[in-house]
Amino acid sequence: MSIVINHLTFAYTQGGKRLEPTLKDLSFTIEEGSFLGIIGHTGSGKSTFAKHLNGLLSSEKGTVLVDGHDVAIKYERKIVRTLVGMVFQYPEYQLFAETVFDDVAFGPRNMKLEENEIKSRVTDAMRLVGLDPDRFSSRSPFDLSGGERRRAAIAGVLAMHPKYLVLDEPMAGLDPLGRSEILSLLEKLRTESGCTIIMISHSMDDIAKHATKVLVLEQGTVFLYDTPQAVFSHAEALQKIGLSVPSITHICIEMNRRGVDIPRTICTESAFMDWIREGKQHA
C-alpha cells in the first residue's frame, strides 16, 4: 500500500479572494515503509502539503489517496486519520493534561478503545520514545525537560498506532543530543514496526543520512523527487533555488575542484569513508 498524490493543487483564500496556488500539480507516490525527507525554502509549500496527508486541508484539484482512501471524502477521511499521525513543530506546546499518561492516552481515548487497550498502548508508546512508564506516567508534562516533552508529545501520536507518521521539523529547538534521540527513534519506528516516516527538515545532513527518498519543493512544484544520492548530486541546481547540501557534499565538490575524481552521489560520511576504503583496496 502507499500514499498516492495525483495532480494535487491548492490555493489559500484571503478575504474571499483566491491567492496564488501554494501547491501546483503535484504527482508522486510515497511507498509504504519508506523514509521521505521533504526539503524546500520557506514558502515552498512543505507544511501545506503535509496538512493534505490527513485532510487538515482539502485539495482544490487532484487527489490524495492513503492506502486507496480518498482524503477528500468525509467518511474516508476518518479512516485516513487513523492511518496518518501528525507531529507539528514544537508538539510539546500541545501538551495539556495533568499527567504524562493522560496526555499520551488522549488520542486512544478519542478512538473509544477499551481501558486495558489504552493502558497497553500508552505504556508501549512511552517505552518506545524512551520514557519509563513507571517514572513518567504520573508526572506533569510541564515538569519534564524540553526533550522529554517532545518525546511525550510524539508518544501521544504513536499510541494511536499510525501507519504513516508525518513530522514537521521534529528536531526544531532541540540540542544535538535531543536531535539524535528523535532521529534514532524514527529509524527504530521504521525498521521495527514498518511505519512510513515523512519528515520536513532544513537539515540536509539529517535528510541525507536517514531518508530513502527526498522531495524537493520549489514554489509549490516538485523540483526533484529521488534518492538522497541522486537529489544531492544536483548541488548547483539546489543552491540556485536557495538550498544547501550536506556537509560532506561540500567537501566532495571542493575535492573535485582540486582534481580528485570523487562521485557526485556521495552525500553522507559513511559513503565517503566507503569510497576511501575502496580506493585503498585498489591502490
3-state secondary structure of 225: strand
The total number of structural domains in the chain stands at 1
| pLDDT in the model for residue 175 | 81
In-domain check, residue 267: no
Q: Which pLDDT does position 213 carry in this prediction?
A: 97
Phi, psi of 143 (to 5 degrees): -95, 0
Q: Residue 206's domain is classified under what CATH number?
A: 3.40.50.300
Express each pLDDT in 110-136 by its tens digit: 888 999 999 999 999 999 888 999 999
- The reply to whether 103 falls in a domain is yes
The answer as to whether 273 is a domain residue is: no
Task: Identify the pLDDT of residue 92.
Answer: 81
Q: How far apart are CA 112 and CA 265, in angstroms?
A: 49
Calculate the average pLDDT of the chain. 92
C-alpha cell read off for 219 = 514554489
241: in domain: yes
Instruction: Answer whether residue 40 shows pLDDT above 90.
Output: yes
Contacts of residue 74, Cβ cutoff 8 Å, sequence gap at least 6? none
As a dihedral over the C-alpha atoms of residue 237, residue 221, residue 165, residue 198, rounded to 10 degrees, the angle is -10
CA–CA dist 153, 232 (Å, integer):
32
3-state secondary structure of 119: helix
The confidence score (pLDDT) of residue 90 equals: 79
Taking CA 24 as the corner, what is the angle to CA 202 and CA 49, rounded to the nearest 5 degrees?
45
- Residue 280 — very low, low, confident or very high, per pLDDT cuts 50/70/90? low
- What would the pLDDT profile of 188-224 be if each residue is shown by its tens digit? 889 888 899 999 999 999 999 999 999 999 999 999 9
Q: What is the pLDDT of residue 174?
A: 80
pLDDT at 283: 46
Give yes or no for residue 23 having a pLDDT over 60: yes
Q: Sign of the CA dihedral 215, 216, 221, 223?
A: negative
Residue 73, domain member (yes or no): yes
- Residue 223 is assigned to a structural domain of this protein: yes
Q: List residues bridging with 226 in a β-sheet.
A: 214
Q: Which domain holds residue 57?
A: 2-245
In a domain, residue 111? The reply is: yes
Q: Is the pTM of this model over 0.85?
A: yes
- Domain contains 228: yes
- Residue 89's pLDDT band, with cuts at 50, 70 and 90, is confident
The mean per-residue pLDDT over the stretch 95-102 comes to 92
For residue 281, the model assigns a pLDDT of: 55
